[in-house]
A and B are shown apart, each in its own frame.
Chain A
Amino acid sequence: MKPATAGILGVAAAALAMEGVVRAGWVSPLVVAPPSALPEAFRRMWDEGFILHPALITLAQAFAATGAAAAIGIPWGYVLWRRPVLGEAYTPWIGAAFAAPTVLLFPLFLVLFGRGYATTIFVGFIAAAIPIVLKTREAFVAVPKVLLDVGRSFNLGEGGLVRRVAFPAAVPGIFTGLRLGLIYALVNIIGMEFLIDFGGLGRIASEMYFRFEIPGMYVAILLIVLVSWIFLAALTRLETWLRPR
C-alpha cells in the first residue's frame, strides 16, 4: 500500500470512529460534531462567504509572517554561525525566548499596531522567526568540515564557499526551521484572530464557537489544517527544487 493511501485510510477510519462514537450517544453532538454533519456545515458557510475569503486571508498572513521571518531569520542564523562568539552568546537567549508565549503580549501589540493585520502578522512573524534563526544556525554548524575543505581545495573564496557548498549542505536543516516557523506562525495567527475577532479562519472559528455551531467550528479547524498542508507541500517542493537530495 502506498503511504498516501495509508494516510487517507487512517483519516477515514478516525472519521468513522468519531461518527460511531457520536451516533452511539457516548459523546454529545454539542461537544463533538459528527463528520457526517460537516458537508452541510461547509455548504452553509460557503453560501455565507465564510470559507474561501477567510482561508485566503489566513494563508496570506501566514505567508507574509513566515516570509518576513525567513528573510530576517535565515541571515541572522547565518551570522550566528559565521561569528561563533555571537552564536554562543545569543543562542541560549533566543532558545529561551522560543518558550515564551509571545501571543499573550497581544494587548501590547494592539496598542502598538491597532486591531488589524499588522498585529496578527507581527505575532506570527515573532513566533516564526525564532525557530528559523535557531535551525539555520544549527544547519550551518552541522555542515561537515570536510565539504568546506573540498571547496577550499578548489580555490573557492569565502562567498563561493557559502553559496556553493555551505548553503546547499544546510538546506535540509534550514527547511526544518521554515516548517517549524510556518506552523508556529499559523498557530499564533489563528490564535490572534480568535482572540481579537479579526481576520480569517481564526475569526470564523470564533464566530462559529459563539454561535454554538459546532460543525461549523470543526469545518474552520479542518480548513486551518488544509491551509497548513498547502503551505508545507509548497515548502517541500521548494526544498526539492533547491536541493534534489
Chain B
Amino acid sequence: MLVVDNVTKRFATADGGVTALENLSLEVSKGRFVAVIGPSGCGKSTLFNIIGGLVEGYEGRVLIDGQPVDGVHRDVGMVFQEESTFPWLTTLENVAFPLDVAGVPKAERLERARALLRLVGLEGFESRYPAELSGGMRQRTAIARTLAFQPKLLLMDEPFGALDEQTRLLLGDQVLRIHRELQQTTLLITHSITEAVQLADEVVVMTYRPGCLKRLVRVDLPRPRDSAIVSSPEFGRLVAEVWSDLRAEASRGMQDIESHRKEEIS
C-alpha cells in the first residue's frame, strides 16, 4: 500500500545544511495502522509532509499502491497537528469541503458529511462553527473532513498533540472505532508512546537527527481494543520496550538542543 523507500531529505541552513531524514524506509500494508514515533527534531513532520506531497526535493521514493508520489496525491488524506478547521464554515460545511472541491452534488455531499460526523461522534453539532467546539471536537471534525476525501491512506501528524492525556485516550478510542469500521490504512506520526501502542499494529521508532529507522516494534495486543488496554501488563511491557529504544535518542536530542541554546547565548 504505502512504501517509503530509502528516503533522504536535506534542508539548507545558515550553518551549511541539516539532514532531516537519512535512508528511511518503511511499509504500511492495506488496512494496517502504523505509528511513527521519535524524539523532537527527528524528522517526523518532514516525513509527514513528504508522504503528503507537500515537500519535494528529496532522495528516494514514496509509492502508494506502486505509484510514485509526486506532489499532493489523491489517495493520501492528511490530518494536521495544528488547528486546521476552517473557522468561517460550520462543522458540516467543513466536512463537506473536499466533496465540494471534487464537484459532488450538494445533497450527496451533505448526506456523506452527516454520516461522517456521526462516525466521529459529532452528531448534533452540524451547524456549529469551530469556535464553538472544544479542541478535541475540532480535531475530530478535521479527521471527518479528511475521511470525506476517501483517501486510501489516512496520514495523521500528532492530531491530538495539543490535548490533555485523558482526552487523548478517549479520542484514541474513537480513532480505533473509525479504523475498525472503515478498515482505513493509517499512518500516525506521534511523540506519545502510549498513544502509539494504544492505536497501532506496528510502531516505527526513529532515531534523532538524521531521522532513520531504529526499530520496528510489533504491537500484538488483541483487537478490538479500547483505552482500557492501558492498564494491561502487556501494554506496559510494550510501552517500556518502545521507551528503551527511544530513551537514548530523546536524550541525544535534548543534549543537542541544549548545546545549541548555549552557543546562541554565548
Contact = CB atoms under 8 A, between A and B. Distances in A.
Given A149-B54, A245-B131, A155 B101 contact: yes
B109 to A, nearest CB: 13
Contact of A146 (B84, B87, B101, B130): B84
A146 B82 CA distance: 7
A21 B101 CA distance: 64
A244 interface: yes
A164 interface: yes
A165 B87 CA distance: 10
Interface residues on A, range: 10 to 19
Chain A to chain B: the 6 pairs with minimum beta-carbon distance, closest first: A146-B82, A153-B78, A154-B98, A245-B129, A243-B88, A168-B88
Interface string B74-105: 10111010111011100000000110011000
B72 A155 contact: yes
A150 interface: yes
* Interface of B: prevailing SS: loop
Nearest to A243: B88
26 contacts: A144-B83, A146-B80, A146-B82, A146-B83, A146-B84, A149-B54, A149-B80, A150-B80, A150-B84, A152-B72, A153-B53, A153-B78, A153-B146, A155-B72, A156-B101, A160-B101, A164-B101, A165-B86, A168-B86, A169-B86, A169-B87, A171-B88, A243-B88, A244-B88, A244-B129, A245-B87
B99 to A, nearest CB: 9
A171 B149 CA distance: 26
Interface of A: 144, 146-147, 149-150, 152-156, 160, 164-165, 168-169, 171, 243-245
Contacts of B131: 245
A241 to B, nearest CB: 11
A165 B89 CA distance: 11
Interface residues of B, number: 24
B140 to A, nearest CB: 15
A152 to B, nearest CB: 5
Contacts of A168: 86, 88
A154 B86 contact: no
B43 interface: no
Contact of B74 (A146, A155, A165, A243): A155
Nearest to A151: B101
A154 B150 CA distance: 11
B159 interface: no
B77 A153 contact: yes
Nearest to A165: B86
Contacts of B101: 154-156, 160, 164
Contacts of A243: 88
Nearest to A171: B88
B253 interface: no
A243 B87 CA distance: 9
Contacts of B80: 146, 149-150
Contacts of A171: 88
Contacts of A152: 54, 72
Nearest to B80: A146
A164 B88 CA distance: 11
B52 interface: yes
Nearest to A152: B72
Contacts of B76: 153
A169 B88 contact: yes
Nearest to A242: B88
Contacts of A150: 78, 80, 84, 86
A240 to B, nearest CB: 11
Contacts of A245: 87-88, 129-131
B144 to A, nearest CB: 13
Contacts of A147: 84, 86
